[in-house]
Amino acid sequence: MTINDEISIVANKIANEGNKPSVALIKTKLNKKVPLPTIISVLKNWQHEPSFISLPEEKHTDVECKTDNPPTEKRSFEKDVRDELTSLKEEVLELKALIKQILK
């Protein structure tokens, strides 16, 4: 998970609770120390997405696969899909931020 994702997730959780995300509030809820300019930058471009409160691998539950693949192949496939989705989600968030900067 990128730090931008973590900041966005924390901001969405705060907004889902009915509060306005602030730099100070986000800073207290992050798992590690993050420079204030980073939080400010992400929060400046942040838009509330109520369902974006965790990444796919955090939501993952073991689901029976309807193929004859052994469990190790199933886990490998699921990990590959999760990794690819995470990568795509990060890229989409970066593109959104760039579009917002261009439109200003």
Model pLDDT for residues 1-24, shown as the tens digit of each residue: 789 989 999 999 999 999 999 999
pLDDT digits (tens, 9 = 90+) for 55-94: 665 444 444 445 555 566 667 777 778 878 887 888 888 8
**Where do the H-state alpha helices sit in 17-63?**
23-29, 36-45, 56-59
Burial 37-58 (b: 16+ CB within 10 A, else e): eebeebbebbeeeeebbebeee
